[in-house]
Amino acid sequence: MRISILATVLLAGLFVQAQNVDVRVGVLGLFRPHELSLSPVAASALGVHAGAESVVLEASSGVKIAHIRVRGDKVEIDVGAGARVLRASEVTVSSRENGPVDFLLAVPGKITRHYRGTLAVRTVSAALTAVVTMDLETAVASVVAAEGTVDGPPEALKALAVAARSYFAAGKGRHRDFDFCDTTHCQFLREPPASASAAAQASSTTRGLVIVFQSISQSVFQVADRSQPIAAMYTRSCSGRTRTPAEVGLPTASYSYYAVECKYCRQHPSRWESRLSDKDAATLGSSNEPSRLRLGRRLGWSAVPSNSFVMRKEGEQTVVRGVGQGHGIGLCQAGAKAMAEAGADFREILAHYYPNTAIVTLGGTGQK
């Protein structure tokens, strides 16, 4: 559905103000770590600050790793195998100039990830909470690398980049101690990709672009007031038709979404089957996303990959058969890939999955 010419003219003068070009992401929280290890990447030097004390981690100095632990209600950082131990309510990490820096953060024996930004670590509920403040575009590229498919066509990855950026721009404050987490609860985020990678290119070529809602049910004089970035949801694959939040039991957002046909997923459904105990199955409702999420947090997301399914009792278990992967709302990545391969550009893909929207520059003016 298209907006009127006058509405388009009004939107051409729209100014979408970027309140903050950085995002605060809580990382590695899924592990509820009591210990973290910190080290610089390559030639970088890390300025580590604990209260009034500071120390530099740098490979060339021979002091290149620090261990961060919970000590009561304090954070303890051990530098150089006990050579120096600092304690404070919060430990922060930055470059020598107090700016962003590349570093490795690990949960020993479990996972190591590379980040670029500044780091703050504090104790929350007897565990370490690590928050990386990173540039918006670094965050977007990292999400595209984590959420996108390796063989995704460039236009499909661009569409994902714009959706991810819109989510960051509009969805702040999802957690008490930071804005976003690095899991699928918010957006899956790994390390920043190489500048020549497809994910980084998708971010850089769409730099600053976000999706805004255009409500054509309003008068054209109200369009600009309602045109704010939407916290764009997206899914791995739908069941042939995307859903609205209301259809799956989720609260309605400022952008109502629309159920749109997805030709690719209708013709190539992603089918799955799981077996659950009767007790677990009793907690699950078809087209009820909150119940699926609760079960996924306990059993893993592969237990019930989507909210489009039917259940049948078989002996002592319940067989669950369904189609799709994810909540089925907004951009369908499988469908976007097919549209891109058929020649659609990222604007056409986004217009299909987010009806009544436009693409504007965050912190700039006008449609793009």
How does DSSP assign 31-84, residue by residue? G--SEEEEEE-TT-EEEEEETTEEEEEEGGGTB--EEEEEETTEEEEEETTTTE
Q: Which of 336, 356, 354 is nearest to 346 (CA)?
A: 336
**Residues 25, 139 contacting (CB under 8 angstroms):** yes
Chain segment 131-186, per-residue pLDDT in tens: 999 999 999 999 999 999 878 899 999 999 999 999 999 988 788 889 999 988 89
Q: Where are the alpha helices (DSSP H) in 148-229?
A: 154-170, 198-205, 220-226
User: Residue 365 pLDDT > 80, yes or no?
Assistant: no
- pLDDT tens per residue, range 202-217: 999 999 999 999 754 4
- B/e letters for 187-206, b = 16+ CB within 10 Å, e = fewer, are bbbbbbbeeeebbbbbbeeb
Alpha-carbon torsion angle 324, 329, 333, 334, nearest 10: 30
pLDDT computed for residue 358 by the predictor = 94
For the chain, the distance separating the N- and C-terminal CA atoms, rounded to the nearest angstrom, is: 18
**Quick one: pLDDT at residue 214?**
75
pLDDT in tens, 242-251: 999 999 998 8
Judge whether 171 and 186 are in contact, CB under 8 Å: yes
In this predicted structure, the answer to whether residue 19 has a pLDDT above a threshold of 50 is: no
Strands (E), 125-221: 127-135, 180-181, 209-213
The 10 Å Cβ neighbour count of residue 234 is 23
Dist CA 153 CA 202 (whole Å) = 10
Mean pLDDT of 78-86: 82
Confidence band (pLDDT; 50, 70, 90) for 227? Answer: low
At residue 285's C-alpha, the angle toward residues 179 and 313, to 5°, is 140
Q: Which are the contacts of 157, defined by CB distance < 8 A and separation ≥ 6?
A: 144, 148, 198, 199, 201, 202
- How far is Cα 285 from Cα 4, in angstroms, rounded to an integer? 41
Is the confidence at residue 224, as pLDDT, over 70?
Answer: no
Q: Convert the pLDDT of each residue in 53-62 to its tens digit.
A: 999 998 777 7
Q: What is the CATH number of domain 30-134?
A: 2.60.200
Any long-range contacts for 279-288 (C-beta under 8 Å, 24+ apart)?
280/318, 281/311, 281/318, 281/320, 284/311, 284/320, 285/249, 286/310, 286/311, 287/243, 287/247, 287/248, 287/249, 288/248, 288/249
Q: Give the span between the Cα atoms of 291 and 67, in whole angstroms.
A: 39
Question: 3-class DSSP state for residue 203?
Answer: helix
In the structure encoding, which two tokens stand for residue 296, read together? 């996924």
The owner of tokens 């400022």 is 254
Q: What pLDDT does residue 59 have?
A: 76
Does pLDDT of 343 surpass 80? yes
What pLDDT, in 10s, does the model give residues 268-298? 999 999 999 999 999 998 788 999 989 998 9
Q: Look up residue 316 and give its amino acid.
A: E
Could you tell me if 263 and 237 are in contact, meaning their C-beta atoms sit under 8 angstroms apart?
Answer: no
Least confident of 29-43, 69-83, 120-134, 146-160: 69-83
d(CA 121, CA 275): 40
Instruction: Using the predicted structure, report yes or no on whether residue 21 has a pLDDT greater than 90.
Output: no
Domain ranges of the chain: 30-134, 136-267+327-361, 271-323
Q: What is the pLDDT of residue 129?
A: 97
> What share of the chain has pLDDT > 70, as a percent?
89
Mean pLDDT across the chain? 87
- Secondary structure (3-state) at 280: helix
Average pLDDT in the 348-368 region? 84
| Per-residue pLDDT, 311 | 94
Q: Whole-angstrom Cα distance, residue 359 to residue 353?
A: 13
List the one residue out of 354, 366, 357, 333 whose CA is nearest residue 156. Answer: 333
